[in-house]
Structure 1
Amino acid sequence: MARGYFIGLDDKTTCGGKVLESDPGITWNGIQHALEGHLVSCGQDGKAYPICGGVDGFISNGRRVAGTLDSRSGCPC
């Protein structure tokens, strides 16, 4: 079974960008975690794109918490 992780502020994306936004109300181990719709930068074109998808059952402010198995960047990479 695959192991997933919650996505936090400043985490790196697969294309070299990083997570730009997070929810200060969702903090685990001192890391603010991102929600679907929060922005990430693209490591190729430098533009900002939303996080698409999130972990079912983990909701904050009406949005799912972003996770490595359940979320992806909206960037074209």
Structure 2
Amino acid sequence: RSEALNLTFTLSRGLLGLCCLGGQVVTLEDDAYALLSAERERADAERERADAERERADAERERADALAAELERIRGE
């Protein structure tokens, strides 16, 4: 572990490797660009899923508010 660089290293396939997010290890034999690209795609997909979930929750909240307002209107009549 390099405290100064905030990096963690491990031995992988007999080579010194850098520990990355998601439990992945990158060594000099790996295509670091491909790994970075795949991680970026994974993060983008996760962000899109989170955004879609937030939109669904917002729509559900709006629907619940509209139903509550309708119920109050009916009770007031």
- What is the TM-score when the length of structure 2 is the normalising length? 0.25
More strand by share: 1
Based on CA coordinates, which of the two structures has the bigger radius of gyration?
2
Structure with larger RCO (C-alpha < 8 A, sep 6+): 1
In the superposition, the TM-score normalised over structure 1's length comes to 0.25
Higher helix share: 2
